[in-house]
Amino acid sequence: MDRQKLKELILKVSYREGDFTLASGLKSDFYIDLKPTTLHPDGAYALGKLAVECVEKSGLKVDAVGGMTLGADPIATSVSLAAREKGYSWPAFIVRKEPKSHGTSRFIEGTENLKPGARVLVVEDVVTTGGSSLKAIQHLRDAGYEPVAVFTLVDREQGGRETFENAGLKLLPLFTIREIRQK
């Protein structure tokens, strides 16, 4: 599946028009729920391959991939598997919204597979203002990891890029909302 077919899948199963309130609190006349795309075998396969290509083109060095649960979970796994296919070892990890209430009581799952100071690619399904990824980035920094960039399937172009640049990170979007809405 190429980039155009992935866009078509997003439009078919993940894009809706109407009256919506976003997680950021902003109002919108459209909504993108990318879980149907990232959980679809064709969508997961394509986004993993395209994400690895995007990272390669950026020239960034990455040791692991993950982000804030739940939107990042299938993306992190897809990217990790696609990276392995190209000879990279990028273990996936998950950042919890709240620390685990039992057992290890930690925010980040999968740390057993990460080396200290690992350069991590933070992934997100949709970036609006960047707030949820910024929380994940802070937890990762607090744990001693080095976030190097944020990859997103769709950038809504509502301030996320600036948020990440202010945090010293690049935003690597696969699509912008303008591209998605150009049906």
Q: Are strands 92-95 and 64-68 parallel, antiparallel or unpaired?
A: parallel
What are 45-57's pLDDT values in tens digits? 999 999 999 999 9
Q: Does domain 3-181 match CATH 3.40.50.2020?
A: yes
**Domains in the chain: boundaries:** 3-181
With residues binned 3-state (H G I as helix, E B as strand, rest as coil), the percentages for the chain, rounded to 5, are: 40, 25, 30
What are 107-153's pLDDT values in tens digits? 999 999 999 999 999 999 999 999 999 999 999 999 999 999 999 99
Mean pLDDT, rounded, for 7-36: 93
SS3 per residue for 55-98: HHHHCCCCCEEEEECCCHHHHHHHHHHHHHHCCCCCCEEEECCC
Predicted pLDDT at 102: 84
